[in-house]
Amino acid sequence: MSLSVAIAGASGYAGGEVARLLASHPEFDVVTLGAHSSAGHSIRSVHPHLASFGDRVFAETTVDALTGHDVIALALPHGESGELGEKLRARGGYRVLLDLGADRRLEDSMAWASFYGGHHHEPFVYGMPELLRSSGPTQRERISAATEIAVPGCNATAVTLALAPLLASGIVSPSDVSSVLAVGSSGAGRSLRSDLLGSELIGSARPYAVGGTHRHLPEIRQNFAHASGHEVSVSLTPVLVPMSRGILATCSAVLLHPRTVEEIRDVLAEAYANDVCVSVYDVGSLPSTGDVLGSNTVALGVAVDKSVNRVIVVAAIDNLVKGTAGAAVQCLNLVCGFPETQGLSLDGFAP
């Protein structure tokens, strides 16, 4: 018997992507798609690509509408998901509660206050199965035993998986980690903003949240601390580029001792040997966002700049799949005892 699913914020990009992925999953039945301003409108009027939902309409996003499902996914802005999640936790009755927003990711209330503000909600188990941990159970084991999961941020996913194994193995210095990310506009959500209009985006690239202000920074630092056992200094510079999907993160760190690119590639390959959603490219090949669009794959490529003694790891993901909705489905599979990649494609689409 299929497990019933309710999605709050299903009219947005992330919620719509969860609906798209679960529509073809044999073990889940998407029963309720909640929205605010789109409530009462047909799903096709907002997501015409979701043809399998036929003439169904969006429900009001209320506690009553969401309660009673086996799985509840909250794809809402920060602040909203935390408050709604508390009301749902008080009701109970679900098997899995997923928060795709930021409200349940950060363990440090001071970091939350600095980057988000407002009430700091109790963190959920962090939904990145591939995250290395310096001690205790593996992250995959923690997720498998959880009932409440915080889905990672998309930029945090790319940067974390690019460098965590190198920090954990002591190959690179924790004092000078840097990443510049080319980010597709869907990462900003579906809300109407003048800076996201096509006429503003097309033919232009624009940095944003520069100078240590991006909200995924404390999440990345938290991940690196769990992976390596110590604090890591991280600089993050995202750049909005004219593409709808995808993140290309060019990450670098100082090598503590000279290493060949082959040695570093082998460290990454060994770290992710059992992680089918991570693809480590051969030396000499670097990924592009086109390699992974539509897939739940993180593609990694490695280079070494000997002139400055730095390693460069390039990570490519589809921000709406592995960066958000695909990670949610991957975690659902683990919690419910299904094959980890069921309902997910590791293959991208081309051209």
Q: Which residue has the higher pLDDT, 227 or 195?
A: 227
Total structural domains within the chain: 2
Would strands 206-207 and 234-240 be described as parallel, antiparallel, or unpaired?
antiparallel
The yes-or-no verdict on residue 189 having pLDDT over 70 is no
The CATH number of the domain holding residue 18 is 3.40.50.720
* pLDDT digits 0-9 by tens, 251-286: 999 999 999 999 999 999 999 999 999 999 999 999
Q: Which residues contact 227 (CB under 8 A, 6 or more apart)?
A: 131, 132, 133, 134, 160, 164, 165, 167, 168
On average, the pLDDT of the chain sits at 95
CA dist., res. 273 & res. 36, Å (int): 43
Q: Are residues 93 and 191 in the same domain?
A: no
The answer to the question of residue 339 being in a domain is: no
Q: Are residues 135 and 191 in the same domain?
A: no
Instruction: Tell me the residue ranges of DSSP E strands in the chain.
Output: 3-8, 28-35, 59-60, 71-74, 96-99, 125-126, 148-150, 172-183, 206-207, 234-240, 247-255, 278-280, 298-305, 310-317
Q: Are residues 163 and 127 in the same domain?
A: no
Residue 125 bridge partners (DSSP) = 149
Q: Are residues 169 and 146 in the same domain?
A: no
Given the residues 154, 251, 277, 331, the one annotated as active site: 154
* pLDDT digits 0-9 by tens, 209-251: 999 999 999 999 999 999 999 999 999 999 999 998 999 999 9
The answer to the question of residue 55 being in a domain is: yes
Q: Are residues 103 and 196 in the same domain?
A: no
Q: Are residues 76 and 128 in the same domain?
A: yes
Question: Residue 1 — pLDDT band, cuts 50, 70, 90?
Answer: confident
Q: Are residues 143 and 164 in the same domain?
A: no
* Catalytic residue check, 154: yes
The yes-or-no verdict on residue 196 having pLDDT over 80 is no
Question: Residue 190 — pLDDT band, cuts 50, 70, 90?
Answer: low
Q: Are residues 165 and 269 in the same domain?
A: yes
* pLDDT digits 0-9 by tens, 294-349: 999 999 999 999 999 999 999 999 999 999 999 999 999 999 999 999 999 999 98
The CATH number of the domain holding residue 263 is 3.30.360.10
The domain in which residue 181 lies consists of 155-321
The yes-or-no verdict on residue 61 having pLDDT over 60 is yes
Q: Are residues 217 and 141 in the same domain?
A: no
Domain boundary among 136, 151, 166: 151
Q: Are residues 161 and 72 in the same domain?
A: no
